[in-house]
């Protein structure tokens, strides 16, 4: 399975020069725990709610560029789900921007993979139950 069916396309973005207040407002109004930081159309980093708490609590002059995680790990929309999970584990990240031909088209999170796994396990359980004696 590839990410084209799993990635969420409603990615919340902010510009690298947006203020921390702008970042907080984007996260609050869209009810998300992270935003992808873009410079023009190119993703450059991610800011999470944790980043804001750790690095931006007492400085209103900071911008998204100042608090974003810069070592951005992105994946192609055609990437294999299990390969992405392995790489997320290696890099210790919970969110990954999804690109198509270098442009941001979605985001996939650890939560998305957990929901996918739960749905697949539910299907397997249904097969087992339907084939169990006495059912």
Question: Is residue 60 packed enough to be buried (19+ CB in 10 Å), middle (13-18) or exposed (0-12)?
Answer: exposed
CA pair distance 33, 49, nearest whole angstrom? 5
Would you state the pLDDT for residue 129?
A: 86
* Structural domains counted in the chain: 1
pLDDT, one tens digit per residue, over 62-119 is 899 999 988 899 999 999 999 999 999 999 999 999 999 999 999 999 999 999 889 8
Of the chain, the end-to-end C-alpha distance in Å amounts to 32
Q: What is the pLDDT of residue 78?
A: 94
Burial of 129 (0-12, 13-18, 19+ CB in 10 A): exposed
How far is the C-alpha of 7 from the C-alpha of 133, rounded, in Å?
39
The confidence score (pLDDT) of residue 16 equals 96
User: pTM of this prediction?
Assistant: 0.83
Determine the structural domain holding residue 97 and report its residue range: 3-131
**Predicted local confidence at residue 57, as pLDDT:** 67
The side-by-side arrangement of strands in the sheet containing 42-48 is 13-15, 34-39, 42-48
Q: Residue 33 — very low, low, confident or very high, per pLDDT cuts 50/70/90? A: very high
Average of per-residue pLDDT values in the chain: 90
Residue 20: which CATH number? 3.10.580.10
Q: Give the per-residue pLDDT at 25.
A: 95
* Structure tokens given for 87: 């790489």
pLDDT digits (tens, 9 = 90+) for 2-24: 888 889 899 999 999 999 999 99
pLDDT of residue 54: 84
How does pLDDT run across 108-128, given as a tens digit for each residue? 999 999 998 898 898 888 888
Instruction: Give the mean model confidence (pLDDT) for residues 39-45.
Output: 92
């Amino acid at each position: 399975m590839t990410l084209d069916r799993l990635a969420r396309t409603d990615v919340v973005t902010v510009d690298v020069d947006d203020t921390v207040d702008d970042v907080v407002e984007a996260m609050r109004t869209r009810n998300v725990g992270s935003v992808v930081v873009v410079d023009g159309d190119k993703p450059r980093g991610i800011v999470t709610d944790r980043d804001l708490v750790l690095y931006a609590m007492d400085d209103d002059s900071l911008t998204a560029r100042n608090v974003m995680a810069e070592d951005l790990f992105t994946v192609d929309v055609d990437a294999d789900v299990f390969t992405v999970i392995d790489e997320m584990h290696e890099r210790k990240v919970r969110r990954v921007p999804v690109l198509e031909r270098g442009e941001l088209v979605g985001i996939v999170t650890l939560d998305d993979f957990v929901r996918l796994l739960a749905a697949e396990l539910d299907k397997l359980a249904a097969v087992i139950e339907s084939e169990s004696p006495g059912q």
